């Protein structure tokens, strides 16, 4: 796996974790931020042919 793919997948894992944390704590501002970041990352992955599974290893909160 190349460095771009590895970094992109790691950023998706982090954004998903932070989004879940924001949702669990009821922090609507953070939820909007991480939701937008996740959308952007997933779009970037799609545009570059990077497959991002629904649940990546290491995503447990």
- Tokens found for residue 45: 């992955």
pTM: 0.83
The predicted-structure confidence for 2-53, as pLDDT tens digits, reads as follows 999 999 999 999 999 999 999 999 999 999 999 999 999 999 999 999 998 8
CA distance 28 to 48: 30
CA distance 44 to 47: 5
- pLDDT value for 53: 81
Q: Which residue carries 């931020």 as its tokens?
A: 33
CA distance 25 to 28: 9
């Amino acid at each position: 796996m190349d460095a771009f793919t590895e970094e992109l997948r790691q950023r998706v894992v982090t954004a998903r974790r932070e989004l879940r944390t924001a949702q669990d704590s009821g922090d609507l501002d953070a939820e909007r931020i991480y939701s937008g970041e996740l959308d952007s990352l997933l779009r970037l992955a799609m545009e570059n042919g990077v497959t991002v599974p629904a649940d990546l290893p290491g995503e447990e909160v």
